[in-house]
Amino acid sequence: MIHRRWLVTGGLGFIGSAFVRMMLRERPDVAIAVLDAVTYAGNPANVSEVAHDPRYSFVKGDIADADRVDEAIGQGVDAIVNFAAETHVDRSILDPEAFIRTDVMGTHVLLEAVRRHKIQRYLQVSTDEVYGDVELGASAEGDPIRPRSPYAASKAGGDLQVLAYHTTFEAPVLVTRGSNTYGPYQYPEKLIPLFITNLLEGEQVPVYGDGLQVRDWLHVDDHARGIAHVLEHGVPGEVYNLGGGNSRTNIEITRELLRLTARSYEGSVRHVTDRQGHDRRYAIDSSKAQALGWAPRVPFANGLAETVAWYRDREDWWRPIKSGEFREYYRRQYALR
């Protein structure tokens, strides 16, 4: 019996599709409408296992297009969860405009829809990158935001609008800020899936600079579960950090992936020119989400080994991606490094 209808924007992307698959599996009373523009990283194959579920429906469209947003809301929804975003820092350095359009304008259009349709709950999926480089300690939700890449600045612009709609219009909004996420179905432009697929193909992996930058890794299922938990239990107007608690340097990640794919450092690793404005370290304090009852469950060693195994099994998923638009992007991004 359907009791709740949720609009999930960006539901064909990496974290969005994990959320859609998990919610249709674990919440029998929830129906989900996905609105997705099917840009390069949105992939219908990510939801193929639930696409025939009668509780699933799909509208193709951009969150910055108010007509498509209204169409996807249809007769009404109880909640909107906004995963739709341009997310890759390197692409935001090459071409920032798409980030402003989706992450800033798209968020604005959704917030106006929340007001127009009197939606009961809106959750903005954001990122720990809005806090900027963290030399020591861990960022808490009340800390100032200091985004340093065009991507992080566009996400911060989205967050600030969301929070301003709570203050100004009492919009029932929530924000989650997740740490670096990994797992199955991640588009192979990000560190972990790029390195795994390159290594499986017998290619080299490009480590930026000295590789001593630190990220905190969160399994995609833990991230999806955290978003659902905040959606169902969070306090409107509040921000919740969702961190994996697995801080590693990029070199540590690389060495672990080399081990899991039985490749050698000397034969496989190429140190290349660093990313412009590269944030050295991210770290977030998730105690607020943990006090609400969420905690990551997937041990990192298991999650990483299972992710490698997934990419090994699912060449049918990633090979077509790596031969398409990706090839031109890879050339632009790495050829001159």
Sheet strands side by side (includes 121-127): 56-60, 30-36, 4-9, 79-82, 121-127, 173-178, 239-242
Q: Residue 51 Cβ, how far from ligand DAU at the closest point, in Å?
A: 25
- Pattern 53-92, ligand DAU, x by CB under 6 A: ----------------------------------xxx---
Residue 174 sits at φ, ψ, to 5 deg, of -140, 150
Q: Residues touching ligand DAU: how many (CB under 6 A)?
A: 19
Query: What is the 3-state secondary structure of 109-144?
Result: HHHHHHHHCCCCEEEEEEEHHHHCCCCCCCECCCCC
The one catalytic residue among 36, 128, 256, 279: 128
With CA atoms as reference, report the closest residue to 300 among 230, 216, 225, 240. 216
Query: Is residue 129 among the annotated active site residues?
Result: yes
Residue nearest to ligand DAU (CB): 127
Query: Is residue 40 among the annotated active site residues?
Result: no
- Pattern 154-193, ligand DAU, x by CB under 6 A: -------------------------xx---------xx--
The one catalytic residue among 56, 131, 151, 240: 151
Q: Residue 128 Cβ, how far from ligand DAU at the closest point, in Å?
A: 5
Query: Is residue 151 among the annotated active site residues?
Result: yes
Per CB under 6 A, which of residues 195..234 are in contact with ligand DAU?
206-208, 213, 215
Cα diameter, the chain: 59
The SS3 call for residue 170 is: coil
Q: Residue 59 Cβ, how far from ligand DAU at the closest point, in Å?
A: 24
How many angstroms separate the Cα of 135 from the Cα of each of 34, 213, 265, 282? 38, 11, 28, 8
Whole-number Å distance between alpha carbons of 177 and 286:
9
Q: Which residues bind ligand DAU (CB under 6 A)?
A: 87-89, 127-129, 179-180, 190-191, 194, 206-208, 213, 215, 250, 275, 282
Catalytic residue set: 128-129, 151
